[in-house]
Amino acid sequence: MKPSSILSSLNPATEPDSLASHERAEIDASTRGPVLLFFGSAVFWLLAGSLLGLLSAWKMTHPGLLDSMAWLTFGRIRPAHVNIVTYGWAFSAGIGTGLWLMARLCRVPLMHSRLLVSAAVFWNLGVLVGVLGILAGDSRSIEWLELPGYATPVLFIAYAFIGVWAVIMFRYRKPGHVYVSQWYLLAAFLWFPWLYATANILLVWQPVQGSAQGAVNWWFARNLLGLWFTPIGLASAYYMIPKVLGRPIHSYYLSILGFWSLAIFYSWNGMHHLIGGPFPAWMISASVVASIMMFIPVVAVAINHHMTMRGHFDALKWSPTLRFTVFGAIAYTVVSLQGIAMAIPSLNTLTHFTDYTIGHAHLGLYGFFSMMMFGAVYYIVPRLVGWEWPSATMIRWHFWLVATGILLMAGSLTFGGILQGLALYDPTVSFQSSLDYAIPFRWLRGISGFFLLAGHVVFATLFILMILKVGRRREGPALFAAPDDDTSATV
Amino acid sequence: MNVAEVHGSILREQSEPRDGCEPVPLWLLTLFFCIIFWAGLYLAYNSGGFRSDVFDSSRTAWAGGGATETGPVDPKVLGRRVFTQNCVVCHQTTGLGVAGQFPPLVGSEWVLGGDWHGDNHLVKIILKGLQGPVQVKGATYNNAMPTWSQLTDEQIASVLTYIRSEWGNAAPPISAEYVKAIRDKTADRTEPWASGDLQAIPAEKAPAVETPPPAPPPAPAAPSA
Amino acid sequence: MNKLPVIFVGVLLTFAASWLGLVVYPFLALGHMQSVPDEDTGGYFPPTLSGLAVAGQRVYAANGCIYCHSQQVRPAPLSTDIEKGLGPRRTVARDYLRAQPVFLGTMRTGPDLTNIGLRQADANWLHRHLYDPRSVTDWSIMPSYRFLYKMRKIQGWPSGDALDGLTGPLAPPAGYEVVPTGDAKALVAYLLSLKRNYPLPEAPMPPAK
């Protein structure tokens, strides 16, 4: 590759790559089977995961709740919840979205769809077997990787199909400018198998001795969120925001800066979950530094999205896709800045080991990623089934229920966590006090779980109605309100 | 799929997303380099010299110290451990022994000195053992105490220091050098002592042990050059 | 950024850097540590676990104790763990040599358990606490693990294993006793083994007061 060709590849395309409508139709038709299969699985796991999450939350305020049976004990329900929402809901929704985005951005119809359908079946099988294994008592108790050793190879095989497919698609794409969403998707598809294989080998199959396990565990868990879910979420945002508005992304150069600084710094963050732990000082310091450096990609992405939206925020009034996506994008900025703050050792003394971390985790995986996925689903599914969402009112209910739920959850756990942390730090205060301070906030968190579950039931109902094409045929998209500008009815 | 249905939702779409050409804001680049500079400083001061055995980030390699902060080992801690591992079987954790079988150490003239007993006798007993009838605090015991010469001089000195300052006993500590001196002097003897043998040897007091100065605080971290 | 090789190589190299630093390095430096000999007793630090305690680790993992309990003592001034009595010194990598898996934990909904074997050396108390936490500590939010125990009619003499002094709504009625299953005994043996009160070269014990 000559230097001049690398340099020329740094210039943004001056002309948009066009896709004729019939090409789009062909591409969408080719993605129909796998994407709907992944989305359908995702919706199922979302409901199951929300139920278990609700149960876990109320077990903390009412420890006697359903505590007589081994398979319902908190220590098993909680990891079952985490693994279902992560590997069941988030993965399936993310892969479904990623497949559709890849096909659109490669500008070729999806190839080898049977490979992907097999992948979906294997994936769901792996998650089901794994979660039942956790409830039966085979949990590894490795956070974010509790699935027993007999389930993880199934997931890995399913993923291998997807990874191979992604590389083939990219190789056979229509030549031309590679849009930023594709960098993120390609990177995510390449990073995940390396992460998953390393973590499984060094933690599950040939466990490394001693506290090195903690390092590998949190390198994996941090990167699962930052190098798998974050890129997919950002890929969706980078596509949906300019697509719905019909405007270009503000700055190609900020996209480059954001992508590479994420790639360089994010993967070193892992040890910030273990500040003060049994690790050499330099590892912890490296993670603290890398966490602070994350300021750069987060701000770059935030500027890009904000400046693209600037002057067009009234689109949030009518577009469901945009409303969910922008909520997710704002949540991404907030949760990342919160995470950077939590990595500073003097603040970490207050937040470590408290509910604050749980609030942060939910704000990230739900407030950012799940909301992003809802936005993507609302955009993609009409194009696959040839039907419009039957009820804008239901979409509105969905949005407000889950927005209230996640804000209530994150807010209550943040405040409660700080009080808990203050009590844990003060040597004159008993351990009991840290529990007492947290009680009212744990109640609020439990209530937020009802909001979230209700929102998910509405969402699942909408999804099923779409698949079954119920209701009268709608002309034009389901929007919250009539758009002011005729040309903006593009959802 | 009905082509007309598909075209409905697809026709109204905008064109595929594309990139704009705005430059990266200067303030962001400036901020980037400021953070990198700070990051370098933080890593330099808080990485413990990038050693794998330094766990506390506040210590750097330039402080001149090694990985471990070693002060002199507190002899009482070592002594208690040696006593627990070796002596409690007979003399009990309370130091009271077992009536009629094993003599007590609490308030014992053998331990504290007094009458004809000296510190040299005490050390000799540990090194060679004691057998035959002995008088302790007015009671007679006739048992066999084995030799403990396999313990190091430091261990013997610390356990003797321990029993001389525990349970209300108050006698000066014994140093490892003193134990070594007596070990060398009695190197030829293979038999355990009997009470009479010891009584024939004049009593000696162990030399006073200087309490070691407290470990100096580590030198403050200073970057080199 | 239009070429697959550029993106591929860049993505690979950036990831390889952290893989080397946070995975390969700990694997080499921390993953092959040896125990250090104890001169006084001829034993080793950290001490080996009894077979029952090793089995207890499995029960600890299966029931998700890490989601409420941590097992690490942090140093001052970053934390007040030592001042609060969680242990005589901070924990270091070598302390976890015998642990499989390593239960560092990230939540303190319940107290840290690094030195629970020092704080609670009484097996019966631990059994009672697992059976019905609120009968022992009324403010506890720990769930009951009574599925690890069996309530049965006393046959002849009460069993030597039976839990002593149970009170509260889950206490056995007259003529009945509560005995631990093998899992419960293993778990308690593991908890009793949790002590970090020995010195290591990289973490000496603080001088006795």
Instruction: Provide the CATH number for the domain around residue A73.
Output: 1.20.120
Mean pLDDT, chain C, whole residue set: 89
pLDDT > 80? residue A363? yes
Split into its structural domains, chain A has a count of 1
pLDDT for B69? 46
Domain assignment of residue A388, yes or no: no
Mutant choice from A253, A305, A307, A349 vs B, greatest count of B C-beta within 10 A: A253
pLDDT tens sequence across B148-188: 888 888 889 989 998 998 888 888 888 889 999 999 988 88
As a whole number, mean pLDDT of residues A188-205 equals: 91
Q: What is the mean pLDDT of chain B?
A: 80
B93 interface with C at CB cutoff 8 Å: no
Res B167: pLDDT? 87
- Dihedral, CA atoms, A107, A113, A115, A120, nearest 10 degrees? 100
Q: What pLDDT, on the 0 to 100 scale, is given for residue C41? A: 62
Asked if the model's pLDDT at residue A268 lies above 80, the reply is: yes
CB-closest option in C40, C93, C208 to B155: C40
Residue B6 has pLDDT above 60, yes or no: no
pLDDT above 70: residue A488? no
- Which of A77-86, A188-197, B211-220 has the largest mean confidence? A77-86
The reported pTM is: 0.82
Q: How far is A467 from chain B (nearest CA, A)?
A: 13
Residue A177 burial (10 A CB sphere; 0-12, 13-18, 19+)? buried
With vertex at residue A140, the alpha carbon angle to CA A136 and CA A141, rounded to the nearest 5 degrees, is 100
Tell whether A152 is covered by a domain: yes
Q: Is residue A148 part of a domain?
A: yes
Q: pLDDT of C173-189, one tens digit each?
A: 999 999 999 999 999 99
* Whether the predicted pLDDT of B80 surpasses 60: yes
For A53, B188, C55, the CA distances from A4, given in Å and listed in that order, are: 54, 89, 63
Residue A4: predicted pLDDT? 52
Residue A156 lies inside a defined structural domain of this protein = yes
Residue A314 lies in a domain: no
Highest mean pLDDT: which of A479-488, B50-59, B149-158, C56-65? C56-65
Residue B1 has pLDDT above 60, yes or no: no
Which one of B50, B55, B150 makes the best mutation probe of the C interface by having the most chain C beta carbons within 10 Å?
B55
**pLDDT reading at C79 higher than 90:** no
Q: Which residue has the higher pLDDT, B217 or A220?
A: A220
What per-residue confidence (pLDDT) applies to A343? 93
* Ranges A252-256, A438-442, B13-17, C19-23: which has the least confidence: B13-17
CB contacts, 8 Å: B13 with chain A:
21, 24, 243, 490
Q: What is the pLDDT of residue A348?
A: 92
This complex has an ipTM of: 0.92
What confidence score (pLDDT) does residue B201 get?
87
Residue B216 scores a pLDDT above 50: no
User: Does residue A15 surpass a pLDDT of 80?
Assistant: no
d(CA A67, CA C146): 8
Partner residue facing A277 (CB), from C64, C72, C108: C72
pLDDT of amino acid C58: 94
Per-residue pLDDT reduced to its tens digit, A452-464 = 999 999 999 999 9
pLDDT in tens, C121-154: 899 999 999 999 999 999 999 999 999 999 999 9
Q: How confident is the model at residue C76 (pLDDT cuts 50, 70, 90)?
A: confident
The answer as to whether A339 is a domain residue is no
A141·C5 Cβ contact <8 A: no
Answer yes or no: is A226 within a domain.
no
Band (B2; pLDDT cuts 50, 70, 90): low
The pLDDT, as a whole number, for residue B225 is 35
Q: Give the residue with greater pLDDT, A433 vs C32.
A: A433
By the CB < 8 Å criterion, does A360 face chain C?
no
User: What is the per-residue pLDDT for B212?
Assistant: 55
Q: Which range has the worst mean pLDDT, B2-6, B137-141, B214-218? A: B214-218
pLDDT at B65: 40
Q: Residue A49 sits in which domain range? A: 23-176
As a whole number of angstroms, the distance between CA A257 and CA B145 comes to: 78
- Flag whether A42 is in a domain: yes
Please check whether residue B3 touches A, CB under 8 A: yes
Min mean pLDDT across A83-92, B186-195, C61-70 is at: B186-195
Output the six-digit token pair for A296. Answer: 């750069």
Mean pLDDT of A240-264: 92
Please say if the pLDDT value at position A8 is more than 80.
no
pLDDT, average across residues A23-27: 87
Min distance A489 CA to chain B CA atoms (Å): 7
Q: How confident is the model at residue A9 (pLDDT cuts 50, 70, 90)?
A: low
Chains touching C by CB (3 or more pairs below 8 Å): A, B
Selected residue with higher pLDDT from A155 and C209? A155
Structural domains of chain B sorted by starting position, each given as residue range(s) with its CATH number in brackets: 23-63 (no CATH), 75-200 (1.10.760.10)
Mean pLDDT of chain A: 90
| Residue numbers in B near A24 (CB within 8 A) | 10, 13
Inter-chain contact A139–C18, Cβ cutoff 8 Å? no
B57 pLDDT higher than 80: no
